[in-house]
Structure 1
Amino acid sequence: MYSARKSTLRQFTVLCSRVILLYLFWILSGCAIIVRGQPRGGPPPERQINLSNVRAGALARRAAQSQPDTRDTPDEPWAFQAREFLRKKMIGKEVCFSVEIKTPQGREYGMVYLGKDTSGENIAESLVAEGLATVRREGIRGNNPEQARLCDLEDQAKAAKKGLWSEGGGSHTIRDIKYSIENLRNFVDSMHQKPADGSETPEPFAAEAKFFTESRLLQRDVQIILESCHNQVILGTILHPNGNITELLLREGFARCVDWSMAVYTQGADKLRAAERSAKERKVRIWKDYVAPTANLEQKDRQFVAKVMQIVNADAIVVKLISGETKTIHLSSIRPPRIDGESSQDKDKRFRPLYDIPYMFEAREFLRKKLIGKKVNVTVDYIRAATSGTDIGPGSIPAFPERTCATVTIGGINIAEALVSKGLATVIRYRQDDDQRSSHYDELLAAEARAIKNGKGLHSKKEVPIHRVADISGETQKAKQFLPFLQRAGRSEAVVEHVFSGSRLKLYMPKETCLITFLLAGIECPRGSRNMPGGLQEAEPFSDEATLFTKELVLQREVEVEVEGMDKAGNFIGWLHVDGVNLSVALVEHALSKVHFTAERSSYYKALQTAEEGARQRKDKIWANYEEKPTEEVVQVSEQKERVANYRPMCVTEITDGLRFYTQDVETGAQLESLMETMRAEIAAHPPVEGAFTPRRGDYCLSKFADGEWYRARVEKMESAAKVHVFYIDYGNRETVPSTRLAALPPAFSIRALPAQATEYAFAYIQVPQDEDARADAVDSVVRDIQNTQCLLNVEYMGASCPHVTLQFADTKEDVGLGLVKEGLVMVEVRKEKHLQKMVAEYLKAQESAKTSRLNIWRYGDFRADDADEFGYNR
């Protein structure tokens, strides 16, 4: 007997002397608990402790789904109450325990106490005293005081008829458990909850996430809000006393937001997005490798204020930045109205998206009236990369340039949300892992849900609006029929749809529902480049500036027009007013147009004259090189006077092979130096992307010169990408460069900020030799004497293409052109003007001296008419 008992005892490990402090984590039953220590670098290991010498009832078990012959087992009486007694008393509390025995199977039995030592409440004794557990009396040793105390407590519970010892057997304590619900929807509705979809499936850091949730919720008293049901699974929100577990999981980087349930989340989707955003910013757990869509942008490029210049379509606008640069902004996460397939397009007419796509016109008008000319706040959400597209086969994909997608607000209103709420745009659906979306995506989804519910715009059951707009641009017969009506109407309302040039526009007449081409009366605006039968005609100076001025003032604005007539091509001619400003007068006043003689019979002629006179006196833009021509009376008087000399300091920067030269005004030299210094600093901070600029003839751009520095230039000719002819507008020299050495000219450094500084001139009173050798000698002499030096310049008279001037050396005041004549390098051009005869006589005297000395072209002695022809002179 002794040996058998000794053998049995060898199967156990006695650990009574070892007391361990842990945290109560999970209650398995009335006599079994799970404990965990503090987490270190991850979830801590679990440990199951069974209470020694006591037994509580077994809880109900569901039959194994894989074993059809098994059945569900119900609760034993008072089993659930015993488990609940321990849960409420112990869950989440510090406990200490001592392990008494450990079976070969690894099961541990011991005593558990509340608190940090064995002086705390003995859990087994508490259970027995409440009648929720029985004492295992078999094998009790009389010398064990703990076992004896348990027996005394059980006897007292029996006497008091507590728990298991109460009358009736405890059948009322057995739960009626249902493991499935036949109609989940009715169940959720019976709980008076608003149905919504929701699901969260954390993928990385699964073990840590599970521990995070278990340690806060398992067997805790919580509040549950049933949100919806999905595939026989109830979805809801759990509110812990310390907060919403959903928000906590998101904030700690254990979960990500799920779009399909966010729109109807009753606790406020913005809180969940904010929690997720916090985790992303801190790059915790599943976001440890997260890179924000705008991480590569500077703060000034992420958020800025800009002025809306144009509405491109229902999801794109053009804005003007503080720097003067224009930028196209796409509204994040929305799609404008579109047409499905080609069947809806009328094959018998030109397809015009603005008028032919349902609700496109309404969307554009909504944005135009809200935004055009207004300042807005722009917050960039993401940059959509450019796509190359494909044009192969019927399923071709169009190519798109890089898109800046942003949230645009005005007066606190999200324009995209307002557009969607009116049913004038739809929300783009993304993959769950696609982070390139609006920062207010949930608001957009909610706005779309409202629009669908209320049947607005694109979601309406009514017939789509039809816009029958007649385009009579270039339709001479239709224009003739329409002309008398417009003339009688006086001032008519219109919207500027397009600006072709400074004085040529396309207008939409809302009352007449037609489109017309409109020419500004009374002015002569610089013409842009045009394709002519003989090739491309170059743009006149300041034509681009005039076009930009008109765009900024009237594009997509509501204006008033007075039609006076029409031309042979069916274009209407008249006056345009915007906010009380006559556009013709404004162009003249800003030196971007001249007064046309047809304005004399107009009531606006005096205003035009006054504006032009002011621009001439300022010598601004198109009047920069203006020299007032005397009237006939003044000519008669001036013929009796001497030539007037008004020499100005100039720096000669370039001399051409045709003996023309370019100069910079010394007075504006400091402005040019300041602009170049600022421009190069900007380029150094933000270097241009090689090959990103596509040059076109007439474009102003940046060009990298041989010295490695960038200069302002204008594209004169395009042979190929490897051969682009450019003219350096501040210095007068020309160069052929590859397109990779060109870049876009920032608006802050355009000719609006500082006009081109190089001005072309020709020498007065001389003839340029046509013979190459003679001309080369003259050019070499001029280059040697005045290249990159400061001279004094006086305009003598106007030539066919540029002013003709005399130059003097700054120090000696000697006439450079006269010196060329004295050296026999050029011949004199005899002028007929009487006030120039003194200068002509001086030049002829110098020519006779060169003849006598047989210098250069006079080296052959008597220089006859045929000699002049040989040297290319025109006597």
Structure 2
Amino acid sequence: MNTFFEKSVLSGCAIIVRGQPRGGPPPERQINLSNIRAGAMARRAAQGQPDTKDTPDEPWAFQAREFLRKKLIGKEVCFTVEIRTALGREYGMVYLGKDTTGENIAESLVNEGLATVRREGIRGNNPEQARLCELEDQAKSSKKGMWSEGGGTHTIRDIKYTIENPRNFVDSLHQKPINAIIEHVRDGSVVRALLLPDYYLVTVMLSGVKCPTFKREADVETPEPFAAEAKFFTESRLLQRDVQIILESCPNQIILGTILHPNGNITELLLKEGFARCVDWSMAVYTQGAEKLRAAERSAKERKVRIWKDYVAPTANLDQKDRQFVAKVMQVVNADAMVVKLNSGEYKTIHLSSIRPPRNEGEEKNKDKDKRFRPLYDIPYMFEAREFLRKKLIGKKVNVTVDYIRAATGPGEGTPAFPERTCATVTIGGINIAEALVSKGLATVIRYRQDDDQRSSHYDELLAAEARAIKNGKGLHSKKEVPIHRVADISGETQKAKQFFPFLQRAGRSEAVVEYVFSGSRLKLYMPKETCLITFLLAGIECPRSSRNLPGGMQVAEPFSDEAMLFTKELVLQREVEVEVESMDKAGNFIGWLHIEGVNLSVALVENALSKVHFTAERSAYYKTLVSAEDACRQRKEKIWANYEEKPVEEVVHVSEEKERVANYRPVYVTEIADTLHFYTQDVETGGQLESLMETMRAEIAAQPPVEGSYSARRGDYCIAKFADGEWYRARVEKVESPAKVHVFYIDYGNREVVSSTRLAAIPPAFSTRTLPAQATEYAFAFIQVPQDEDARADVVDCVVRDIQNSQCLLNVEYSGATCPHVTIQFGDTKDDVGLGLVKEGLVMVDVRKEKHLQKMVTEYLNSQESAKSARLNIWRYGDFRADDADEFGYSR
């Protein structure tokens, strides 16, 4: 006697049983019931053999099979083998339960009229055979089953092995659960099912999953790892069970569905136990919720069961704080990438997982060879995608969940190199940004190999969002004409900039978006109303310059230039701002004021000790605020003012504190006129001391010449430099581009020069600025507006050079400026005011000052300006000073 579990019922008189599983699928045996015969089940013709035909059920065959199926499937049975044929077929008696005291299955079939007794060869001394004959006679008299009237033709099924149009068939069911019996399990995720009550025999593949399969080569079947276990898992739960099936889709004649059993959903169970993996292409049709499948698969991966025994998570090497964190979005790099700032202050580039930004499929075909290709504006929907992210995220805090790290790739044939990428799911307010982008048709979802686990943790939602976008014809999936952005890039285009300048200047405050930050005070702006890109320089300040490539080599960054650029980036990059355009330089760059949420960026840079006030700010409404902020930083000696030393009070005469103007002219010698119209002078009183120091210094150098090339120049150092006349002078290093290009300022004369380090040497201690302070003092003309246009300014500078350079004059300080005192200067012989003469000749305009004690001088200057107007001199040659004249000479209107 053997005890087994019932696996399946082949017919009314044949069953398959199996033992207890131990380390794998258990052995199976087919047992044929002795002494009885039930009707043969229907059989389909052999495929590829045209001579064979389908054979239908014999009467009552299906009912006999169903009787046994419902009684035995999944139950424990015992059996005795009475006969074993030469071919290995086994005949015996089967009992329901653990021993022969249980129900005799053959007797039950005969009693119900579902089987006949083989009476030939009956032995009279065999009580079991006699019992069967007795039961058969009772069934006949009771007209049960096959003994009922009518012959049983109504019990023959009309089995349909094929469906003419399976897609319509599936659609007609409207994804409603239908009753079925699982007739065969091919592998863990593919079954053969009998649909009731119409007897369609169909093959169903489980939606959303795939189990290991059995590969057949040259009639040899080789199972993939865990294929047999997966098949047994499904068989032991579903084979010949009553189930409900939801037929969900029929792509390429393959019917996809979900099998529901009272004890659970086999699809989810297979995933949870590590017998299957999720399949993207069929996941979309799974009606029970794709997130359940992903969760079940994730559980198996975490426990590393069965097919996932060697699984390593994409983020296994990351700490928890590196997997999930909150960060502030600082820049949208592309439609799928952004720069975020972590709580630690570190910056990190994040790529949105599993999506691809808009691409220009016909880039070479569509690209105008005479125009620079700009992806943001020239690739369809790239600008819309960037703008969606910019408006949604810039300056906001987001939740970042790292999904995987894409390793760096080297350049290949026709493929570029990519650095390592951190790919993550980014959410804000519970909204998945990638999903929102895809749903608007502004990005597409990447398709992966089935074994590629490096993908978004919300991959199914992305696929669903893309399906909605395609259905609704959104963005990239629209059949409408693609949007075209005709944006004029006038950065560095002087002629185009001149055309735009009057409009931007008259507009007052204009809306703009900061596209790029070159340095703390130099930006690239997109003007949406004017649909143009401009280079914008902040007015009123002098910001440290960043390093940059120049034709002669790399320009070294000035101290705090990087900090200033970072400050500007954090405050305004990709933000919506307002700008006031005041002027334009010769290179076509616009100059003005930039405001963001009520903050003036120029003022903010000065307040944070990252910029100095430029003298051009004096005419603006922000001058007092700028000077006040600068004074506060200077006193605290912050950042760029760290090494600042207060000048002696007597060097700067605070005229503004005087009740009346004091004319205290002193003799000076004008040594240098700068291109900015600033000039340098030496006090006549100390001229003798300088001459004496120079003679002594040169004599000492001649006696002990410095070793050529031994001096290493550093910015800010005092040194001696050999001028073009072959003589040595005291100097200060302003910038070092290379050993061959050192920018020096001659501290006693005010002129500048670029020299080789071989022409420099350390200054002897006896001749340092402690012995005699630097003799060149910088001044600016009072009551005069300096033309911004370089050509107009050059004309004024040439005139001043002819009049006063290398001559003795009289100088009086009128008021202080941002970088140096503003003065009036008189010719030494005639005592005529040099600045007033420039106004009279119509070379400059008057800068009107509001201080009461200066009004007499201002009035004199304005009267001279009116005279020049009347005489139509130089800038007044057209009579009234027109707007286009102001543009030409670089004055603000």
Report if TM-score (shorter chain) is over 0.5: yes
Output the amino acid matched with 2:571: L
**Matching residue within 109, 115, 121 for 2:97:** 115
User: Which residue pairs with 2:185 in the alignment?
Assistant: none
Output the amino acid matched with 2:271: L
Structure 1's 541 and 834: CA in aligned 2 closer, same or farther, altered over 3 A? closer
- Rounded Cα–Cα distance in structure 2 between residues aligned with 1:526 and 1:231: 66
Residue pairs, 1:62-77, within 5 angstroms: 62-77=44-59
User: Which residue pairs with 2:368 in the alignment?
Assistant: 346
Query: Secondary structure, in 3 states, of the residue corresponding to 2:533?
Result: strand
Deviation at 1:36, TM superposition (A): 0.9
**Matching residue within 209, 212, 218 for 1:202:** 212
- Rounded Cα–Cα distance in structure 2 between residues aligned with 1:229 and 1:601: 77
Q: Does structure 1 residue 236 correspond to structure 2 residue 257? A: yes
Residue pairs, 1:702-741, within 5 angstroms: none
**Matching residue within 123, 131, 139 for 1:149:** 131
**Matching residue within 399, 424, 428 for 2:446:** 428
Contact kept? 2:209, 2:276, Cα under 8 Å: no
Structure 1's 156 and 832: CA in aligned 2 closer, same or farther, altered over 3 A? closer
- Rounded Cα–Cα distance in structure 2 between residues aligned with 1:830 and 1:236: 92
Structure 1's 199 and 233: CA in aligned 2 closer, same or farther, altered over 3 A? farther
Deviation at 1:360, TM superposition (A): 0.7
Structure 1's 80 and 831: CA in aligned 2 closer, same or farther, altered over 3 A? closer
**Matching residue within 602, 605, 628 for 1:610:** 628
For this pair of structures, how many residues does the alignment match?
641
- Rounded Cα–Cα distance in structure 2 between residues aligned with 1:124 and 1:513: 90
User: Which residue pairs with 1:590 in the alignment?
Assistant: 608
User: Which residue pairs with 1:367 in the alignment?
Assistant: 389
5+ long unaligned stretches in structure 2: 177-203, 214-223, 655-699, 711-729, 735-763, 775-893
- Rounded Cα–Cα distance in structure 2 between residues aligned with 1:418 and 1:103: 69
1:223-261 deviation per Cα after TM superposition (whole angstroms, max 9, x unaligned): 011112244443221111111111111111212122111
Residue pairs, 1:537-686, within 5 angstroms: 537-632=555-650
User: Which residue pairs with 2:490 in the alignment?
Assistant: 472
Deviation at 1:281, TM superposition (A): 1.6
Structure 1's 346 and 155: CA in aligned 2 closer, same or farther, altered over 3 A? same
Deviation at 1:635, TM superposition (A): 9.9
Deviation at 1:489, TM superposition (A): 1.5
Output the amino acid matched with 2:234: T
- Rounded Cα–Cα distance in structure 2 between residues aligned with 1:172 and 1:422: 58
Q: Does structure 1 residue 138 correspond to structure 2 residue 120? A: yes
User: Which residue pairs with 1:21 in the alignment?
Assistant: 3
Structure 1's 565 and 439: CA in aligned 2 closer, same or farther, altered over 3 A? same
Deviation at 1:197, TM superposition (A): 7.5
Query: Secondary structure, in 3 states, of the residue corresponding to 1:222?
Result: strand
Contact kept? 2:515, 2:524, Cα under 8 Å: yes
Output the amino acid matched with 2:508: G
**Matching residue within 105, 111, 116 for 1:129:** 111
- Rounded Cα–Cα distance in structure 2 between residues aligned with 1:832 and 1:255: 85
- Rounded Cα–Cα distance in structure 2 between residues aligned with 1:418 and 1:516: 31
Q: Does structure 1 residue 164 correspond to structure 2 residue 146? A: yes
Contact kept? 1:225, 1:236, Cα under 8 Å: yes
- Rounded Cα–Cα distance in structure 1 between residues aligned with 2:483 and 2:207: 35
Q: Does structure 1 residue 92 correspond to structure 2 residue 114? A: no
**Matching residue within 272, 292, 304 for 1:251:** 272
User: Which residue pairs with 1:389 in the alignment?
Assistant: 411
User: Which residue pairs with 1:357 in the alignment?
Assistant: 379
Contact kept? 1:492, 1:562, Cα under 8 Å: yes
Contact kept? 2:441, 2:466, Cα under 8 Å: yes
Deviation at 1:69, TM superposition (A): 2.0
Output the amino acid matched with 1:422: K
Output the amino acid matched with 1:371: L
Which one is further off, 100-109 or 119-128? 100-109
Give the TM-score of the pair, scaled to structure 2. 0.69
1:36-74 deviation per Cα after TM superposition (whole angstroms, max 9, x unaligned): 111111000001112222211111112222433222222
Structure 1's 622 and 122: CA in aligned 2 closer, same or farther, altered over 3 A? same
Contact kept? 1:491, 1:562, Cα under 8 Å: yes
- Rounded Cα–Cα distance in structure 2 between residues aligned with 1:57 and 1:252: 40
Query: Secondary structure, in 3 states, of the residue corresponding to 1:409?
Result: strand
- Rounded Cα–Cα distance in structure 2 between residues aligned with 1:34 and 1:771: 111
Output the amino acid matched with 2:505: Q
Output the amino acid matched with 2:408: A
1:261-317 deviation per Cα after TM superposition (whole angstroms, max 9, x unaligned): 111221211111111222222222222222222222222221111111111111111
Output the amino acid matched with 1:297: L
- Rounded Cα–Cα distance in structure 2 between residues aligned with 1:626 and 1:247: 72
Contact kept? 1:24, 1:91, Cα under 8 Å: yes
Residue pairs, 1:492-571, within 5 angstroms: 492-571=510-589
1:337-396 deviation per Cα after TM superposition (whole angstroms, max 9, x unaligned): 111231111122111111111111111100000000111111111222222224x6xxx2
Contact kept? 1:309, 1:372, Cα under 8 Å: yes
Contact kept? 1:29, 1:82, Cα under 8 Å: yes
- Rounded Cα–Cα distance in structure 2 between residues aligned with 1:76 and 1:415: 63
User: Which residue pairs with 1:865 in the alignment?
Assistant: none
Alignment RMSD? 2.7
- Rounded Cα–Cα distance in structure 1 between residues aligned with 2:105 and 2:232: 25
Residue pairs, 1:799-838, within 5 angstroms: 800=732, 828-829=766-767
Output the amino acid matched with 1:373: G
**Matching residue within 83, 86, 94 for 1:101:** 83
5+ long unaligned stretches in structure 1: 1-18, 637-766, 777-797, 803-825, 837-875
- Rounded Cα–Cα distance in structure 1 between residues aligned with 2:105 and 2:523: 91
Structure 1's 770 and 245: CA in aligned 2 closer, same or farther, altered over 3 A? farther
- Rounded Cα–Cα distance in structure 2 between residues aligned with 1:469 and 1:185: 49
Contact kept? 1:197, 1:260, Cα under 8 Å: no
Contact kept? 2:330, 2:341, Cα under 8 Å: yes
Structure 1's 144 and 512: CA in aligned 2 closer, same or farther, altered over 3 A? same
Contact kept? 2:209, 2:267, Cα under 8 Å: no
Query: Secondary structure, in 3 states, of the residue corresponding to 1:343?
Result: helix
- Rounded Cα–Cα distance in structure 2 between residues aligned with 1:74 and 1:202: 34
Contact kept? 1:199, 1:235, Cα under 8 Å: no
